[in-house]
Amino acid sequence: MFCSSATAAGNNGHCHRPDSVRTITRGSAKCGVGVSALPDPWQRLRDTSVLCRERARAPELYDLFRRRIAPIAFFLAIALIARDSCEKERRTHTTVELELGDARPRVREIDVEVVAGTARDASSAPVATSRCIALPDAVIGPCRFPVALSDEDGQLRIDVDLGGEHRHLVRTFHALEGSTLLIPLGNDLAPREAPH
C-alpha cells in the first residue's frame, strides 16, 4: 500500500484499500499518492467486446428479415396476386326475362344481344346472345335466359319479328348478382296506328 503517515495515523495505522484499481493508478487524494495513470488492461477488452457486438448485430437483423419479415411479405404478395386474379375473373350472374305483354300472340321470333358495360357504340361486340322462336301455329314461349357479365351495367339489343314487321329495341340495365331482370316490351310492341 502507498499511504502517507498522516493518512495511516488517522486511520489507526491502517490504510484504506482503494475502491478500484483506477483509484490507485490515477492517484488517490485519499492515500496522497501521485502516480501517473496506467493503461487499463480491461478497457481494450471492453472496446473489442463492443465492436464484436456491433458486428454480430448485422447477422441478427438479416436473420430477423429472413425468418420473420420475408415470409410475411411473400404471403402478402401471393394474396395480392390472388385478389387481382379474382377481380378479373369475377362475373355477375343474372337472368334476363322479356315480358311481351299483350303482344305475345303476334311475336314470331326474338333475337337478343347482350353487351357489357355502358357502351352506346353500335360496334361493341356482344358477350352473349339468345334467340326465342315460336313454333308454327303456336304462341311463343317464355323468353328467359341466364347471363354472366364482367360488368354490372350493360345493354340489351333486341330484334323482335312480329310476322309482318320488325322492331329494334335497346334497353340498358344494371344487374345484381343472382337477380332476375324483367324487361317489359309490351308497350313498344303494340300495333302502330295507321296514318290518316
For the chain, the average pLDDT equals: 74
Residue 110: left if φ>0, alpha if ψ -120 to 50, beta else—which one? beta
* Chain centre to alpha carbon of residue 103: 50
d(CA 93, CA 97): 13
Whether 194 maps to a domain, the answer reads: no
Averaging pLDDT over each range in 63-72, 129-138, 143-152, which range is the top one? 129-138
Burial 62-75 (b: 16+ CB within 10 A, else e): eeeeeeeeeeeeee
For residue 26, the enclosing domain spans 1-38
pLDDT class for 21, splitting at 50, 70, 90? very low
CB 149 within 8 A of CB 91: yes
Given a cut of 90, whether residue 29 has pLDDT beyond it is no
Whether 195 maps to a domain, the answer reads: no
pLDDT for position 88: 59
Please indicate, yes or no, whether the overall pTM of this predicted structure exceeds 0.85. no
* Same domain assignment for residues 148 and 169: yes
Given a cut of 80, whether residue 99 has pLDDT beyond it is yes
Whether 72 maps to a domain, the answer reads: yes
Mean pLDDT for 86-111 is 85
* Same domain assignment for residues 114 and 71: no
pLDDT for position 193: 72
* Same domain assignment for residues 97 and 171: yes
* Same domain assignment for residues 32 and 111: no
Whether 176 maps to a domain, the answer reads: yes
Q: How many domains does the chain have?
A: 3
* Same domain assignment for residues 104 and 75: no
pLDDT class for 26, splitting at 50, 70, 90? very low
Given a cut of 80, whether residue 172 has pLDDT beyond it is yes
pLDDT for position 89: 63
d(CA 159, CA 145): 16
pLDDT class for 24, splitting at 50, 70, 90? very low
Given a cut of 50, whether residue 176 has pLDDT beyond it is yes
